[in-house]
Amino acid sequence: MSIKKWCGLTLGPLILFFLLCIVLIAWIDPFQAYHLATEYLPPVDKTSQVYSNPGIARNYPYDSAIVGTSVTENFHPSYMNSRLGGQFIKLCTSAGTVHNHAVLLDIAFRTHSLRRIVYGLDVYSLVGESNEVTYPLPDYLYTDTFTDDAPYWFNKSVWGTFIPKCLKTWGQTQDESFRDKMYNWANQDEYSVGAIEYTALFESPKQVHTQDAFLEKARNNIETNLLPFITAYPETHFDIFFPPYSAAEWSNMESKGTLEALLALRPLCYDLLSRYENVTLYDFSVRESWVLHGRNYKDTTHYGEWINDAITDCIAGGEEIVIAQETLLDNNDKLRTWAHALHDAGRWIFESD
């Protein structure tokens, strides 16, 4: 074989292969980075959420969004559409930080005109650095440029795992229920006192954090990752809520020595957020019919999807709105009392049903 022929035989297939990869990924696009999937059901999966989220934020039609961690993943956009109006989408990141949410909000506001954001504000998501993300983000999917997408086009997992998943559902199309099912984990677990106690801690803290331990970081997080959107988009309404963890979660904080430090973040949030007309702050943490009933929880934090629907109803009906800092301080007292009672008892002492 001549050396020139050898060069042609290697360079030709290589160039062809690389071009084919680009064309096929641009067409099939398992993460919907370029367009909405119309030929198959996209592999929207919790375990690869940071890869599918930017495409969802960029390419689905919507005018309202649910933002937050795993406790927001069981909202039903179809129900929210009917109760709150508009067209909802989930922009959720399991265990995400406020910066995780901010990078998605950034894409959402750049690509859509938004009327409403329902935002689940976990105190945990405020205690890291303001640029901290829970999982490394594949930056190439979050930028608007096409030229940095090589890790998407030439990616062993995309070709080995995600393209086959797309091909398996080829011919099927997304209907309205697809958005409800997106990231939904509601029917995978048992909801009971036993499930709560399995993840509950009743220990003495190794180290007790002071009340001001996380204040500076939380302030910085809100100022960096939330307020810029609130101030830049006054026509968008932000319904921000403290999620209804079970009372045992606050007892867990007591065991970890973070109870007072985390409780102190709630009045801070009120201080920073309540001054804006386009923000409504809700506190569902002390709704006794939810947080003191074992049947609502799969662990100390995560509640069933019926609670998400109930939260939707509350927002629609204007319930549990925080209109004064004193309300939050009173609620903190309740949470503190429950936490101490559970911690002292070493078991679930509230309703089991």
Partner 1 sequence: MLFNSYIFILAFLPLTLIIYFLLGRLPEKNSFNKIFLVLASFVFYGYNHPGYVPIIAGSIVINYLLSQQMLNSNKKALRLALLLIGITGNLGVLFLFKYHDFFAENLNHAFSLHLPLNHWVLPLGISFFTFQQLSYVIDSYTHKVPKYHFLDYSLFVTFFPQLIAGPIVLHSEIVPQFADPKNRHFRSESFAPGLFAFARGLFKKVIVADTFAVAVNAGFGAAHSLNTAEAWFVAVGYTLQLYFDFSGYCDMATGIGLMFNIRIPMNFNSPYKSLNIREFWQRWHMTLSRFLTNYIYFPLGGSRKGLPRTCLNLLIVFLVSGLWHGAGWLFLLWGLMHGIASVLYRLFRKQYDALHPALQWIMTFTFVVIAWIFFRATALQDALAIVKSMFMMDFSPIRTEITSAFALPGGFHPGYNAIYMLLWYILSLGACLGLRNNYENTMSFRPTLWNAALTVILIVYSVLSLSGVSVFLYFNF
Q: Which of 68, 129, 123 is nearest to 96 (CA)?
A: 68
* b/e burial code for range 87-115 (CB count within 10 A of at least 16 → b): bbbbbbbbebbbbbbbbbbbbbbeebebb
Does 177 contact partner 1 by CB under 8 A? no
CA 281, CA 321: separation in Å to the nearest integer?
Answer: 6
Phi, psi of 154 (to 5 degrees): -115, 75
CA 58, CA 56: separation in Å to the nearest integer?
Answer: 5
CA 219, CA 268: separation in Å to the nearest integer?
Answer: 7
Does 192 contact partner 1 by CB under 8 A? no
Q: Which stretch binds partner 1 (CB under 8 A): 12-20, 34-42, 100-108, 168-176?
A: 12-20
3-state secondary structure of 241: strand
Does 143 contact partner 1 by CB under 8 A? no
Does 161 contact partner 1 by CB under 8 A? yes
CA 61, CA 204: separation in Å to the nearest integer?
Answer: 49
Query: What are the Cα distances from residue 196, in Å, to 73, 191, 308?
Result: 19, 8, 18
Does 24 contact partner 1 by CB under 8 A? no
Does 95 contact partner 1 by CB under 8 A? yes
The sign of the dihedral angle between the CA atoms of 8, 10, 11, 15 is positive
Q: Output 47 or 113, the one with its CB closest to partner 1.
A: 47
Does 17 contact partner 1 by CB under 8 A? yes
Cβ(97)–Cβ(128) under 8 Å? yes
Q: Output 51 or 214, the one with its CB closest to partner 1.
A: 51
User: Looking only at residues 214 through 253 of this chain, which bind partner 1 when binding is defined by CB under 8 A?
Assistant: none
Does 125 contact partner 1 by CB under 8 A? no
Mask 289-308, x = binds partner 1 (CB under 8 A)? ----------x-xx------
3-state secondary structure of 240: strand
Does 187 contact partner 1 by CB under 8 A? no
Cβ(121)–Cβ(265) under 8 Å? no
Does 159 contact partner 1 by CB under 8 A? yes
Q: Output 1 or 232, the one with its CB closest to partner 1.
A: 1
Torsion of CA 9, 11, 13, 14, to 10 degrees: 150
Q: How far is the CB of 26 from partner 1 (least distance, A)?
A: 16
Q: Output 95 or 341, the one with its CB closest to partner 1.
A: 95
Q: Which stretch binds partner 1 (CB under 8 A): 45-53, 59-67, 169-177, 275-283?
A: 45-53
Does 146 contact partner 1 by CB under 8 A? no
Residue 324 DSSP symbol: S
Q: Output 43 or 267, the one with its CB closest to partner 1.
A: 43
Does 7 contact partner 1 by CB under 8 A? yes
Q: How far is the CB of 5 from partner 1 (least distance, A)?
A: 7
Continuous segment of H or E residues that includes residue 313 = helix 305-317
Q: Output 138 or 228, the one with its CB closest to partner 1.
A: 138
Q: Output 93 or 285, the one with its CB closest to partner 1.
A: 93
How many residues lie near partner 1 (CB under 8 A)?
43
Interface contacts to partner 1, rule CB under 8 A: 1-7, 9-11, 13-14, 17-18, 46-51, 69-70, 94-95, 135-136, 138, 150-151, 154-162, 185, 199, 299, 301-302
